[in-house]
Amino acid sequence: MSVEEFLRVDDVVVGYGSSDILKSLSLSIRKGEFVALLGSSGCGKTTLLRAIAGFARPKSGAIHVNGKDVTLLPPDKRGMALVFQSYALWPHMTVAQNIGYGLKLRGMARADITRRVEELQDLLGLAGLGQRKPGALSGGQRQRVALGRALAIDPEILLLDEPLSNLDARIRLKVRHDISALQKRLGITAVHVTHDREEAMVMADRIVIMENGNIAQQGAPEEVFNRPASPFVAAFMGAENMIQLRGTVGGGHVKIDSSATNREAVLPLDGRALSDGVYEARFRAEGAHLLVNDGAADAADAGLDLVGHVEAASYPGGTWRHSVRVGDEILLVDSPQPVAQGEAVRVRIPAKNLFLFNLGGSFSRPRQSSLNEGGAARVLEASHA
């Protein structure tokens, strides 16, 4: 146990009935760290947050805060504060009463509460709204009241359950920075649940990507972004383009065999744990270049070249986004210049932007296999008829 370790989740299993939502999950968070739990819906990230907060009781495992076992403590005895996705503001109390409630519970003098609530209102840009009811506030203001209510009690750990998902896109960008700046300034340990990759990247010191009740990968944003540990993480971090390649490993390099859809390439292994065989290759639309196919061969170590033709182009802003047909796959590739539909192109993926993962043994080229299977099925149908 490191000195800095503050919140520790040990082999926690949470589930209802026979299905487990969290499957023996362990996580360690340092004091003052901002950790984002990232995952698609149903991956267990909210359940983990509720287990930490004390609203979901683990079947087994333990949760420690500052070395103290809190696994069986009720939520109100944990010194944490949870900001809900719905904000959960009390409609019968004013903004000031909402923010000050936690202080009132702690028996603080009324004058002190008023002073502290006003401080928080100023800090959160809610000055002058203290006497309003939550119903008379905008979404962004409600979100800040919910945050103020949680911050008022000086929690050791601030838990945030998708607090930005109900906000307008424009406000969201600003609130992201507001929250992380505030967290840094107050030095609070924060756990933030989100399904928004960019939000997690911008706000967190560390990203924990969850998949089916387990941690798929955790690390600093740039680490998770640039070195995804599995195809799932790569896809979740935006590398949606997927092709299959065959290759061999040797001398610190991986040699990708040429095929109908790609040229031969020799890429530095660069810490990738690969063996000979079939790879699932993933890359981002913005991680590849689109070259009009002039037939000239460059040095093979420049990256992987895929051959295909442009099916469509659109302009989402900044760069042109092309859908390129490579073999059976449709890949999205960005380019500063539009390329005409039907034009033969090369998609060049620099080695550092290409994520390679070993696939299971039984694999044949997608095109061949689908054709063969189709053919076999047709033969079978014919024989039946």
The residues that touch another protein, with contacts defined as CB under 8 A, are 53-55, 74-76, 80-82, 84, 86, 88-92, 101-102, 105-106, 146, 149-150, 152-153, 155, 159
What is the amino acid identity at position 283? F
Least separation in angstroms between residue 291's CB and another protein is 53
Toward another protein, which CB reaches closer, 156 or 286? 156
Toward another protein, which CB reaches closer, 101 or 363? 101
Give the separation between CA 142 and CA 164, rounded to whole angstroms: 11
3-state helix, strand, coil in the chain (%, to 5): 30, 35, 35
Task: Write the CA distances from 28 to 5, 218, 368, integer angstroms.
Answer: 7, 11, 47
Toward another protein, which CB reaches closer, 113 or 152? 152
Task: Write the CA distances from 127 to 117, 183, 354, integer angstroms.
Answer: 10, 20, 50
Toward another protein, which CB reaches closer, 108 or 202? 108
Least separation in angstroms between residue 104's CB and another protein is 9
Toward another protein, which CB reaches closer, 103 or 310? 103
The set of residues, in sequence order, having a beta carbon less than 8 Å from that of 151 and lying 6+ positions away, is 81, 120, 158, 182, 186, 188
Q: Give the residue among 233, 226, 181, 236 at the shortest CA–CA distance from 34.
A: 181
The set of residues, in sequence order, having a beta carbon less than 8 Å from that of 377 and lying 6+ positions away, is none
Give the separation between CA 151 and CA 153, rounded to whole angstroms: 6
* CA Rg value for the chain: 26
Toward another protein, which CB reaches closer, 90 or 368? 90
Least separation in angstroms between residue 180's CB and another protein is 21
Least separation in angstroms between residue 54's CB and another protein is 8
Toward another protein, which CB reaches closer, 159 or 347? 159
Toward another protein, which CB reaches closer, 17 or 318? 17
Least separation in angstroms between residue 122's CB and another protein is 20
Least separation in angstroms between residue 116's CB and another protein is 13
Beta bridge partners of 331: 324
Provide the b/e sequence for 55-93 (b: ≥16 CB within 10 Å): ebebeebebbbeeeebbeeeeeebebbbbebebebeeee
Query: From its phi and psi, is residue 334 left (phi > 0), alpha (psi between -120 and 50) or beta?
Result: beta
Least separation in angstroms between residue 165's CB and another protein is 14
Least separation in angstroms between residue 139's CB and another protein is 16
Q: Token pair of 98, please?
A: 């909402």
Least separation in angstroms between residue 99's CB and another protein is 10
Concatenated DSSP letters of 33-49: -EEEEE--TTSSHHHHH
Toward another protein, which CB reaches closer, 25 or 82? 82
Q: Token pair of 120, please?
A: 């928080």
